[in-house]
Structure 1
């Protein structure tokens, strides 16, 4: 089950996934860290004719440059110091299945050549061997980097880029699909409540508003971590604003829209404009409006009383 895909941008992604999954085409998934690239890769694989076999996952950024070639293509005994026996690589392990190359932009140039050969011919050679091995492997790659810029700067092979970019899927950051946040929150609440044997009944409106007002630089992964933290530390069975990390609440207080005030506007009129804007933003919550304006609640009530 895929959760949090009700926004137009995510519906477009799912539509594209359904189109490309049955094919053998290479897919390049683009998006910021934490947007769910591996989730989409898994979905494509499961919906494909290869879905009955396990998908082989490789995080290219987690492998040292000196080991990535051996990890991907395998090696023979004695190929390098420490190679005490032969070993198949990830591409051989993914024969008749799918390999997911996460952070493909981290692959060094000398290894990019070998990857290109697999894409073109379906052939590879293990380190320390001249024997050609044929593999039938579908490649799904992902990156949070701008590969086109890397190509222009010489950091990524242009021919490899076009071979990988047969079908590209762009995952939007969470800040561009905030309508998906409530469903994701409910899913993570249920999941982590079960995991931690907690009786979580829900989340307060103000807390949800804070989640909706935050920019989520870490995207869905950050939201997942925040909800897990809230569930683990919660004492009242309902997630409240006080349960949220301080940076979310601080971010909420910074999100007031810009207000344009002409020079020469009387001070009382300026105060009125600012109060109206703060109340509009907080949906009438006078306590939060006072916090946004940097005044006490009593002061806000007093000034509102004057207006009335």
Structure 2
């Protein structure tokens, strides 16, 4: 059996802490999760990811380097067992909503067959694999690929409902995501108690009336890709939200605004042109000394 290696730094600290757990099985589970998290992710490095493009600190120079080299930056991934547990909960939430939509026959997209390892598109719940004929129990939903090949953009939406002419995005809302994206909103619903400031979860969730900004930006770009490159007639995205603290749910609708994606599409086209001519663009975050994202690539030259 090949030896398992966890590299130094923050990841090694987390791994060693797991090894010291009082209950051996619990520690072994943590080590298993951390080992898996630190393996190569398999995420494509030859495309621009919409989730990165919509961030305010998206660096065009870093994107150029990654497309040209088709490698991730050299920085070691900082992760913890808690963070990986959060990611896994998000995956489970996706699976739950997608299963319900599949049972309703309201989910279109790619499907994967465990028998032949093939993928095929279907506009509703398929009765069998289109490639090998395997029964539906062998199929899993593989979501909605959204690609703009000339611009080297590639992403995946959580779902597509032809009956609603809508993409579907499945989200979980936790205090951590609010603390990162809307700290002022979280502070508004934080009340003093004998044990210190505590968020009023009932009021916070009651007054949560729109998706988080990053999710809105990303889905606008998804809708642009769906309309212009995938020939999917969509005019809205339906958000399905789970509130982690209480397991309550809400839905929101965001209508398509094509003007939002224009600058991102122009930037992608410029980056692809730079890759074709092998002329690096300037860092758009810090044109003088560069930003952390592009400097990571400079360090690994």
On whether the aligned pair clears a TM of 0.5, the verdict is no
TM-score range, shorter chain: under 0.3
User: Which structure features the higher share of strand residues?
Assistant: 2
When normalised by structure 2's length, the TM-score is: 0.22
- Which structure has greater helix proportion? 1
Bigger Cα Rg: 1
